[in-house]
Amino acid sequence: MSVTAAMVKELREKTGAGMMDCKKALSETGGDMEKAIDWLRRKGLAVAAKRAGRTASEGQIASYIHAGGRLGVLVEVNCETDFTGRTEEFTALAHDLAMHIAASNPICISPEDMPPEVVEREREIYRTQALEQGKPEKIVDKIVEGKLKKFYTENCLLSQPFVKDPDKTVEDLLNEMRAKTGENIQIRRFVRFQLGEQS
């Protein structure tokens, strides 16, 4: 199938990718728009992965206050340049992340940041549950690992489904911004305050 200028224009509008990348994506996928979008996303993610090692020390600290001042979040989101850190898109991302943290109450940013004592406690609970349910010893470890994976998805910020679009994870959201900006975008840290709660 021949790739037309109109197809390239449509794909560019949908993805924000460069003209040549859009043309190549459509050529590689036989003009299938959805497959071309996936092709571009994979390319963007591969490029984003290369950027992950670069220093991100610019950005913003965003805040979100909810429920009549009873719940608040501060989050530091970093990028490589001051220019990107001041864009409307980056500001919106930082605000969305603060709102997401308020709603989803993650324990940490990634599974690697999860305190070892929390992981051990969860592992022990899942193991005991599986044994009490009479599961065979040989599959208990698999059950425990499966439940731990679910625990990470629910409690690690990057693994959580994004509150405004549950089909994406927070990591997907960052990868989209990395692909758009060409920069390493990172969530450095966050704090969530709830009135009356001990931190």
Give 87's DSSP letter: S
Q: Which pLDDT tens digit goes with each residue over 86-137? A: 999 999 999 999 999 999 999 999 999 999 999 999 999 999 999 889 888 8
Q: Which two tokens stand for residue 140?
A: 């208990």
Q: Are residues 44 and 12 in the same domain?
A: yes
Q: Are residues 170 and 151 in the same domain?
A: no
Q: Are residues 93 and 35 in the same domain?
A: no
Decide if 29 contacts 36 (C-beta within 8 A). yes
Q: Are residues 20 and 83 in the same domain?
A: no
Q: Which two tokens stand for residue 93?
A: 């991302």
What pLDDT band is residue 51 in, cutting at 50, 70 and 90?
A: low
- Evaluate whether residue 42 is within a structural domain: yes
pTM: 0.69
Least confident of 54-58, 83-87, 151-155: 54-58
- Evaluate whether residue 25 is within a structural domain: yes
Q: Within 10 A of 190 (CB to CB), how many other CB atoms are there?
A: 21
- Evaluate whether residue 91 is within a structural domain: yes
Q: Which domain holds residue 164?
A: 58-109+156-194
Q: Are residues 167 and 88 in the same domain?
A: yes
3-state secondary structure of 84: helix
